[in-house]
């Protein structure tokens, strides 16, 4: 069946769907059912259109199917069996919150299945008289609720610190005055803390509440990624902090209003390190977006952006450890709070050894090398072309022309195709401290791609960097790799439109990945050598790049993908498809090796939230999301 333009259908569906008023909800549900039945013959299309996390009706239907009410009796039994039951202080600054929303926020804390909590509230001199009255009533009705009224309005950071002064818990959860916690939120945090008692920061997934209090707009987050935290507020909400560390870093800082929670997360992450930060891939916070009193971030976006810029800059300054200069911050996308960090290259720039295996395909190779040597602004390149038995006269004529450039070497490597062996052979003869594994069917688009990859690679702890690769029609070929997708691994959002931003900016932000394709992969030479290069014995053709990346990660190196190194890729244009019986057997053997070698590591990718399926051109809600039942563990 030919592929329909899914992106166009999806946009049309959203437009028609959005034209229906809220009062038409029953009709919308019936329409969804009709479309679902009509698409039974095209389930791949139905999944994309009708499992869209950005569609509120679809999202709520998915919640109803996969997130039934928690088993309260089982949770109570599990709480009783926990080795530790820390007191969690929920800290809430309040200013002129609408009565219904404030009451709802407080009641969502009182309804927590985990009983070891206290609610610490600071009224930031609200002029509305109902606020103090409501808070007094709440405190009188539950001894776990304490509140204080500030004499002067100090804004959210000062008010939060005042509320924090009331807290006595070992951990502190930050909550806004009009948001809601699901009843199992603090229990989930306590269970995570019991499993990881050295944790300093725990954060969860989140979604939003509309004007009617209905849920929409989920943010399904990856496990902790320090690069992503620099570019967007990954932690809030729900963010829970060890109180002694929170106090040691000085609490929330005044002057950072609008980005105060991002600033706090950056300082806590710097103080404790990534190993002590835990992510719960489950929605534990409902963030109201249409309250009567708008949040600071909705009314002062410019000031928020300045505060965010300052918070990130100061975090970078603190963590520079004598390195200079700092990266330049640029808005990653207009109208969002996302930042791009442009890292500088050292002077002089390190030599990059570009390794290109080839067998004939002279036109592709010529375009590839022309882009490298003529349209790339990186100053120090050598090109090692590994000739795996070319026979075409035009290929040899091309080699003769390329030998005239002192930056190019041709390495004869006849014999059966073994991608791993070809790259290992060239790596042994490379002179550069950076290896760039590059397919001969990759074409340069703009001049700055290699600067971006190398500048990211040279940061402390980074072992390899992958690029954004596009098919000739502009759709996405490679946005990073998700391990466990398919039999072993699969590309992230393949065939996404070129202007797609991904889930909450995932396609426009540099981020950590478990693996990236070696069609264009920059690797530190020392890291490549330390893990033994590519596995030419067990993985001669397929999955050798995935295995390399996983071994780099196992050795402690971080793997990054950047959207700012963008190239075209005509995937496997010269090698052909694996269609013969011998190739099929070899491929099956490589799958078996990967599954045996990596086992449980392939079951969950920490950088791809399990509530979403990333195998389509747009993220869709997972058909079988993980059950949230830690009491069964």
- pLDDT on residue 571: 72
Domain-located, residue 450: yes
pLDDT at site 484: 94
Residues 222, 130: one domain? Answer: yes
100 in a domain, yes or no?
yes
What band does 11 get if pLDDT is binned at 50, 70 and 90?
A: low
Would you say residue 276 lies in a domain?
yes
Say if residue 433 is in the same domain as residue 559.
yes
Note down the domain range covering 119.
Answer: 73-301
Q: Are both 285 and 367 inside the same structural domain?
A: no
User: Distance (Å, rounded) from C-alpha 435 to C-alpha 413?
Assistant: 19
117 in the same domain as 185? yes
Nearest to 260 by CA among 299, 308, 206: 308
Residue from 285, 282, 286, 307 nearest 296 by CA: 307
Tell whether 102 and 225 lie within a shared domain.
Answer: yes
Nearest Cα neighbor of 337 from 205, 236, 207 is 236
The confidence score (pLDDT) of residue 323 equals 62
Q: Is the dihedral of CA 171, 160, 144, 236 positive or negative?
A: negative
Whole-number pLDDT of residue 566: 98
Task: Tell me the C-alpha distance between 261 and 267, whole Å.
Answer: 10
Q: Does residue 189 share a domain with residue 90?
A: yes
DSSP of 594-621: HHHHHGGGGT--TTS-TTEE-SSSS-EE
Residue 114: closest CA among 175, 64, 181, 180: 181
Residue pair 501/491 in contact by the 8 Å Cβ criterion: no
What is the reported pLDDT for 325? Answer: 82
Q: 3-class DSSP state for residue 266?
A: helix
Residues 360, 286, single domain; the answer is no
In a domain, 324, yes or no: no
What pLDDT, on a 0 to 100 scale, did the predictor assign at position 335? 72
pLDDT digits (tens, 9 = 90+) for 15-25: 454 444 444 44
Rounded Cα gap, residues 453 and 434, in angstroms: 10
- Domain count across the chain: 2
Q: Residue 295 has what pLDDT?
A: 47
**Rounded CA separation 118/87 (Å):** 7
**218, two tokens:** 């989920």
**pLDDT reading at 45 higher than 80:** no
Summarize pLDDT for 60-118 with one digit per residue, the tens.
999 999 998 999 999 999 999 999 999 999 999 999 999 999 999 999 999 999 999 99
| Res 250 pLDDT > 80 | yes
Same-domain check for residues 278 and 370:
no
Domain assignment of residue 259, yes or no: yes
Q: What is the rounded CA–CA span in Å between residue 600 and residue 88?
A: 33
- pLDDT surpasses 50 at 539: yes
Q: Is residue 78 part of a domain?
A: yes
Continuous segment of H or E residues that includes residue 425: helix 419-429
Q: What does the pLDDT look like over 336-362, one tens digit per residue?
A: 789 999 999 999 999 999 999 999 999
Final residue belonging to a domain, choices 271, 301, 331: 301
What pLDDT is recorded for position 299?
52
Length of the chain: 633
For residue 296, the model assigns a pLDDT of 42
Q: Verify that 148 and 221 share a domain, yes or no.
A: yes
Please give the pLDDT value at position 321: 60
Residue-wise pLDDT tens digits, 443-468: 999 999 999 999 999 999 999 999 99
- Per-residue pLDDT at 194 exceeds 60: yes
Say how far residue 96 (Cα) sits from the centre of its chain.
35
Instruction: Name every residue whose Cβ is closer than 8 Å to that of residue 42 and which is 6 or more positions away in sequence.
Output: 1
How large is the C-alpha radius of gyration of the chain?
Answer: 27
Residues 287 and 205 in one domain: yes
Dihedral sign for Cα atoms in the order 452, 457, 461, 467: positive
d(C-alpha 449, C-alpha 437), whole Å:
14
Q: Which strand (E) or helix (H) includes residue 522?
A: strand 520-524
pLDDT band at 626 (very low <50, low <70, confident <90, very high): confident
pLDDT band at 36, cuts 50/70/90? very low
Which of the four pLDDT bands, split at 50, 70 and 90, describes residue 1? very low
132 and 243 both lie in a single domain: yes
Q: What is the pLDDT of residue 16?
A: 52
Report residue 449 as tokens. 């791609």
Q: Establish if 203 belongs to a structural domain.
A: yes
Among the ranges given (26-40, 51-65, 106-120), the one the predictor scored with the smallest mean pLDDT: 26-40
d(CA 88, CA 370) in angstroms, rounded, equals 61
Please state the rounded mean pLDDT for residues 131-139. 98
Of the pLDDT bands very low, low, confident and very high (cuts 50, 70, 90), residue 303 is confident
Q: Give CA angle at 107 (129, 91), nearest 5°.
A: 75
- Nearby residues of 225 by Cβ (< 8 Å), 6 or more positions away: 234, 511, 512, 607
First and final CA of the chain: distance in angstroms? Answer: 43
Q: Which two tokens stand for residue 351?
A: 């030599």
Q: Which residue has the higher pLDDT, 41 or 563?
A: 563
Whether residue 3 is contained in a domain is answered as no
Alpha-carbon distances, residue 259 vs 28, 303, 314, 497, 558 (angstroms): 37, 9, 13, 31, 27
What pLDDT digit, counting tens, does each position of 559-600 carry? 999 999 999 998 754 444 445 788 889 999 999 999 999 999
How far CA 171 is from CA of 91, 201, 259, in Å, comes to 10, 9, 21
**Res. 50: pLDDT tops 90:** no
Q: Are residues 294 and 402 in the same domain?
A: no
Residue 103: give its domain's CATH number: 3.90.550.10
Q: Mean pLDDT for the chain?
A: 90
pLDDT reading at 30 higher than 70:
no
């Amino acid at each position: 069946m030919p592929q329909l333009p899914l992106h166009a259908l999806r946009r049309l569906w959203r437009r028609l769907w959005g034209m229906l008023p809220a009062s038409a909800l029953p009709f919308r549900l019936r329409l969804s059912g009709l479309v679902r039945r009509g698409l039974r013959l095209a389930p791949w299309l139905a999944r994309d259109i009708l499992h869209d996390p950005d569609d509120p009706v679809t999202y709520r239907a998915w919640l109803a199917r996969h997130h039934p009410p928690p088993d309260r009796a089982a949770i109570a039994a599990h709480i009783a069996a926990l080795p530790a039951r820390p007191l969690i202080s929920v800290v809430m600054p309040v200013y002129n919150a609408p009565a219904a929303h404030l009451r709802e926020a407080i009641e969502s804390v009182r309804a927590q299945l985990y009983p070891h909590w206290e609610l610490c509230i600071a009224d930031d001199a609200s002029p509305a008289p109902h606020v103090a009255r409501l808070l007094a009533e709440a405190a009188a009705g539950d001894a776990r609720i304490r509140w204080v009224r500030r004499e002067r309005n100090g804004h959210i950071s000062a008010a939060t610190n005042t509320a924090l002064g009331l807290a006595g818990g070992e951990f502190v959860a930050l909550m806004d005055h009009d948001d809601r916690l699901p009843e199992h939120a603090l229990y989930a945090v306590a269970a995570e803390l019991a499993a990881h008692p050295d944790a300093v920061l725990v954060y969860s997934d989140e979604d939003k509440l509309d004007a009617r209090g209905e849920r929409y707009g989920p943010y399904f987050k990856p496990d902790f990624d320090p690069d992503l935290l620099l570019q967007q507020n990954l932690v809030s909400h729900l963010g829970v902090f060890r109180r002694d560390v929170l106090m040691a870093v000085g609490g929330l800082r005044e002057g950072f209003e609008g980005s105060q929670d991002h600033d706090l997360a950056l300082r806590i992450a710097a103080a404790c390190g990534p190993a002590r930060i835990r992510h719960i891939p489950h929605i534990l916070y409902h963030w109201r977006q249409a309250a009567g009193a708008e949040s600071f971030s909705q009314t002062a976006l410019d000031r928020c952006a300045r505060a965010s810029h300052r918070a990130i800059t100061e975090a970078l300054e603190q963590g520079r450890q004598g390195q200079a200069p700092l990266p330049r911050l640029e808005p990653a996308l207009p109208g969002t709070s996302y930042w791009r960090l442009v890292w500088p290259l050292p002077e002089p720039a390190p030599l990059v050894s570009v390794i290109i295996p080839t067998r004939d395909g002279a036109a592709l190779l010529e375009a590839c090398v022309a882009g490298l040597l003529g349209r790339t602004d990186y100053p120090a390149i050598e090109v090692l072309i590994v000739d795996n038995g070319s026979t075409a006269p035009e290929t040899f004529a091309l080699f003769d022309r390329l030998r005239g450039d002192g930056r190019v070497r041709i390495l004869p490597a006849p014999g059966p195709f073994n991608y791993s062996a070809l790259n290992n052979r060239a790596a042994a003869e490379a002179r550069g401290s950076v290896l760039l594994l590059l397919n001969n069917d990759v074409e340069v688009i703009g001049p700055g791609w290699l600067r971006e990859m190398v500048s990211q690679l040279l940061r402390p702890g980074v072992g390899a960097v992958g690029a954004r690769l596009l098919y000739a029609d502009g759709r996405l070929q490679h946005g990073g790799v998700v391990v466990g997708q398919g039999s072993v691994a699969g590309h992230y959002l393949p065939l996404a439109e070129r202007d797609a931003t991904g889930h909450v900016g995932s396609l426009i932000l540099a981020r950590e990945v478990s693996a990236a394709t070696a069609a264009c992969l920059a690797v530190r030479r020392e890291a490549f050598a330390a893990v033994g290069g590519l596995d030419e014995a067990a993985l001669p053709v397929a999955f050798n790049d995935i295995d390399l990346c996983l071994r780099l990660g196992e050795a402690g190196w971080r793997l990054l993908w950047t959207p700012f190194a963008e190239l075209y890729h005509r995937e496997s244009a010269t090698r052909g498809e694996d269609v013969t019986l011998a190739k099929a057997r070899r491929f099956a053997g490589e799958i078996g090796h990967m599954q045996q070698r990596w086992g449980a590591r392939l079951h969950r990718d920490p950088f791809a939230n399990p509530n979403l399926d990333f195998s389509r051109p747009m993220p869709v809600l997972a058909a079988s999301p993980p059950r949230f039942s830690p009491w069964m563990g």
